[in-house]
Amino acid sequence: MPRQSKDYYAILGVPRDASQEDIKKAYKKLIKQWHPDLHPENKKEAEEKFKEIQEAYEVLSDPQKKAMYDRFGYVGETEFAQQSSGSPFEDVFRDFESFFGRDVFDIFFGERGTEERQQTRRRSGEDISITVEIDFTESLVGKQIPVEYDRYEKCDHCDGQGIEPGSGYQTCPRCHGTGVIREERRSVFGVFVSTKTCGTCGGTGKVVKEKCHVCGGTGRVKKRIRTTVNIPAGISDGTRLRIDGAGNAGYGGGPYGDLYIVVHVKPDKRFRRQDDDIYVDVSIDYIQAILGATIKIDLPTGGSTMLRIPPGTQPGSIFRLKGEGAPSVRTGKRGDLYVTVNVKIPDSVSSEEARLLKELAKIRGTNI
Ligand SMILES: [Zn+2]
Ligand SMILES: [Zn+2]
C-alpha cells in the first residue's frame, strides 16, 4: 500500500532537533489557531488542519513514536488513522481524550465543554485483536503484510443512528410515553403497586417508528477489511501494534474502537534472540580450532560474513559480531550477533589420520 508520508516537523513548524518543550509550544499555538470553531467559513479545511496538527503532535511528543518516525518516516500505529469514517471532529475528540485526559476540553471548548463531552460518551466500538505470524528474518528487516478481518462499520443508510431516515420516533406503546411500567399485585392483604423502568423504550417514553432496514437498528454493518500493515523492523515476538480507529464502529454514531495486531515471530532453527542481541552456534573442525581458520557465518538478516577464528580456540568460545543483531524498534540501533564455537571431534578417523595422530601424541608426550 503506497503511502504519502507526512512531514510532521513541517506541520508543527519546528526544526528536526526541536526540544519537547518547543514541540509542545508550537502545538498549543497551532491547535488554538486552527480550531474549527474559529473558522466557520472554511470549517472543513480547518478540521483537516486541526487533525493533522494533532496527529503530528501525537507522534512527535511520544519518544517511541518519534524515534520510529525519525527512522522510518511513519509510525506503524497510526497507519489506519485515515480510515475511520465518521466526522473528523469525533475522531479529534476521541484522540484528545486518550492522550491528554480531560483538561483539554476546558482549554478549548470552554462553556460548551459539558455538552460536547456528553456526546463522546455515546458508546464507542469494541477493539478488535488479530494475530499475524512472520518469519524470524522478516522480524529483523520489517515487512508489509496483508491482513483480513471483519469489523462493524457505521451504517451509511442511517448514519449510524439505527433509525430509518425520515421515520422519526413515536410514543412507546407499552408505557404510553411515561417511561415506567406499573405493576399491581393482589393478595389477601390488599393491592401492592410497584413501578419499574419500561424495558421497551429504556425509560425514554419514545421508540423508533421504523428501524433502519439496512442495519436492523444497530447502526452498524459488518464488513470484510482487506488491508496491509507495516510490521516495523526489529519487532519481537508477542509485540502488540495498535491501529487507531480500525476496530468496530461505535454505537449510536460513537467513535470506532482500535485494532490490535499481535505479532507472532516464528522461532528460527539456528538463531535465538535475546533483547536486541542474537545468538548462534557454529561447529568447526578440531584442526581449525588448533590452527585457526576463517569461517563463513550466515547472518540472521540474510547473507553471510567471514569470521577469523584464532589458533588455539577453545570449545565454547564466543565471538561477537558488532551490529549484526536485531535493530531496536524504538531507536533503530542494532544489537550484536554472538557466535558460540563448538569443536567437532570426529567419530572415526582413517588409518592414515590415526597414524599421524599417534605420531602427534608421541611428540606431545601424550599417554594414549
Ligand atoms: Zn416505554
Ligand atoms: Zn442503518
Going from the Cα of 181 to the center of ligand 1, the distance in angstroms, rounded, reads 8
CA 12 to chain centre: 24
Q: Cβ distance 297 to 319 under 8 Å?
A: no
Between 112 and 152, the higher pLDDT residue: 152
- From residue 6, alpha-carbon distances to 32, 56, 72, 332 in Å are 21, 9, 12, 20
The lowest-confidence range among 31-40, 98-107, 141-150, 184-193 is: 98-107
Q: CB neighbours of 235 closer than 8 A, spacing ≥ 6?
A: 134, 139, 142, 263, 265, 329
The three-class DSSP label of residue 79 is: helix
Amino acid 40: pLDDT: 78
Ligand located closest to 163 CA: 2
Whole-number Å distance, alpha carbon 165 to ligand 1 midpoint, is 22
Which ligand sits closest to the CA of 156?
Answer: 2
For the chain, the domains span 272-364
- 211 CA to centre of ligand 2 in angstroms: 8
d(CA 152, ligand 2 centre) in Å: 12
What distance in angstroms lies between residue 166's CA and the mean position of ligand 1's atoms? Answer: 21
Query: Please, which pLDDT band fits residue 312 given cuts at 50, 70 and 90?
Result: very high
Q: Is the dihedral of CA 99, 102, 103, 106 positive or negative?
A: positive
State which fold the 272-364 domain adopts.
Answer: HSP40/DNAj peptide-binding domain (2.60.260)
Rg (CA), the chain: 33
Å from CA of 178 to ligand 1 middle? 7
Least confident of 34-38, 135-139, 280-284: 34-38
pLDDT range class, residue 129, cuts 50, 70, 90: very high
Ligand 1 center to 123 CA (angstroms) = 22
Cell of 97: 481524550
Ligand number with the minimum distance to the CA of 161: 2
What phi and psi values does residue 277 have, to the nearest 5 degrees?
A: -95, 150
Cell of 306: 567471514
Q: What does the pLDDT look like over 46-103, one tens digit per residue? A: 888 888 888 888 888 888 778 777 776 666 543 333 333 333 333 333 333 333 332 3
The Å distance, Cα 171 to ligand 1 centre, comes to: 8
Average pLDDT over the chain reads 82
Q: What is the pLDDT of residue 350?
A: 95
Which class for 80: exposed (0-12), middle (13-18), buried (19 or more C-beta within 10 A)? buried
Q: What is the pLDDT of residue 151?
A: 95
Q: Answer yes or no: are the C-beta atoms of 282 and 339 closer than 8 Å.
A: yes
Cα–ligand 1 centroid distance for 207 (angstroms): 7
What ligand has the least distance to the C-alpha of 182? 1
Backbone angles phi, psi at 28, to 5 degrees: -60, -40
Q: What integer pLDDT is reported at residue 291 of this predicted model?
A: 96
* Distance from residue 212's CA to the centre of ligand 2 (Å): 4
Written as nine digits, the cell of 215 is 442495519
Q: Region 236-252: what's the mean pLDDT?
A: 90
Q: How confident is the model at residue 65, as a pLDDT?
A: 77
Ligand 1 center from residue 183 Cα (angstroms) = 14
Strand order of the sheet with strand 128-134?
128-134, 259-265, 239-243
What is the distance of C-alpha 172 from the center of its chain?
44
Ligand nearest to the CA of 174: 1
